[in-house]
Amino acid sequence: MSKFFASLLLLLFFASESQAQRLEYGFNGFGTSYFGELNNTTAFLNNVRYGGGVHIRRHLNPWWSVRADVNWARIAGSDNIPGAVVDLRNLSFRSDVVEFTGVFEVNLRQIGHRRNDYKTTPYLFGGLNLFRFNPKAEFGGEWYDLKPLSTEGQGLLEYPEAEVYSLTQMGIPFGAGFRWVLSKYWRMSFEVGYRLTFTDYLDDVSGVYVNSNILAANRGPLAAALADRRQELSTGLEPAQPGTFRGSPRNDDAFLFVGFSVSYVLFKKTCPRWK
């Protein structure tokens, strides 16, 4: 993966001095959604959050370009939303995500700022990203990092099969967009970008419930309370049985960006019109 990002930077900053190359710098703003165990499809809007970032794009020719983005985003999910169908897990989370993304883009037609040029084009993109996340849960009015609490026994001697997950992961961003030429120097894009990941722990939920006494002895009573929150719904509920499913370990999590970006075009002084 490091070779991919190194190659992308070389393309962006040290590509051959073709007269047709141009650079764009811009800002991103978007809404986010998350897909995982705590994505309540009956109350989708409750999981929508926000984000933003910056990007740089180098045009290789009228159709192909490479782009690098640095984005910050917040994602969240809950399976206990008032008025919606609830899951008796009563789990929720939020996480701030910082990503570095490198993608190739292909325009479906050539655009330009002159009178007879097309002023809009659809485009497709795909590439790789490196991102950092940190799931948290609210308890008693405070937010707590979930990874150190080992809510599914990660890192405990009693549960050697529960692997500790990394907060730094890689993913595959891909999607589609629509770009407008606003003027000679300004462009605007609307984009839908899906982030396919290789982790099931964006929400700290993946495997099975563990013994609450063992968890409390190793990580403290807070860990036990956040691992099994069913009794917060009703004092009549029994604690979850150790070994019963808390998540869906066969399916990795993902997240989605939907929003706009605005960029400023830098033309070379000797740059002729692309044909």
Dump the DSSP string for 90-119. Answer: --EEEEEEEEEEEEEEEESS-B-SSTTSB-
Q: Write down the pLDDT at residue 18.
A: 44
Which residue's structure tokens are 């009573």? 221
Q: Write down the pLDDT at residue 82.
A: 60
99, two tokens: 């990503």
Q: Within 13 Å, how many C-alpha atoms sit on residue 68's CB side?
A: 15
146 three-class SS: coil
Amino acid letter, 261:
S
Question: Which of 88, 87, 137 shows the shortest CA–CA distance to 236?
Answer: 88
The region that residue 27 occupies, defined by phi over 0 for left and psi between -120 and 50 for alpha, beta otherwise, is: beta
Map out the domains of the chain as residue ranges.
2-266
Task: Look up the pTM and report it.
Answer: 0.86
Q: What is the pLDDT of residues 222-237, one digit of tens each?
A: 999 999 998 888 767 7
Burial track 240-251 (b if 16+ CB lie within 10 A, e otherwise): bebeeebbeeee
Q: Write down the pLDDT at residue 272.
A: 46
Question: Which of 105, 238, 242, 228 shows the shortest CA–CA distance to 177?
Answer: 105
| Residues paired with 57 in a beta bridge | 24, 67
- How many whole angstroms from its chain centre is CA 218? 32
Helical ranges in the chain per DSSP H: 2-14, 212-219, 221-227
Rounded CA gap, 52 and 214, in Å?
41
Q: Write down the pLDDT at residue 81.
A: 66
Residue 242 per-residue DSSP state: T
Q: Write down the pLDDT at residue 211.
A: 95
Average of per-residue pLDDT values in the chain: 88
Architecture of the domain whose range is 2-266: Beta Barrel (2.40)
Q: Write down the pLDDT at residue 125.
A: 98
Rounded CA gap, 93 and 111, in Å?
43
Question: Which of 98, 111, 123 shows the shortest CA–CA distance to 193?
Answer: 123
Q: What is the pLDDT along the chain (275 residues), one digit of tens a residue?
A: 555 555 555 555 554 444 345 899 999 999 999 999 998 766 667 789 999 999 999 999 989 999 999 999 999 998 876 655 556 788 999 999 999 999 999 999 998 888 878 889 999 999 999 999 999 999 999 999 999 999 999 999 999 999 999 999 999 999 999 999 999 999 999 999 999 999 999 999 999 999 999 999 999 999 999 999 988 887 677 888 999 999 888 889 999 999 999 999 997 765 444 43
The total number of residues shown for the chain amounts to: 275
Rounded CA gap, 4 and 260, in Å?
26
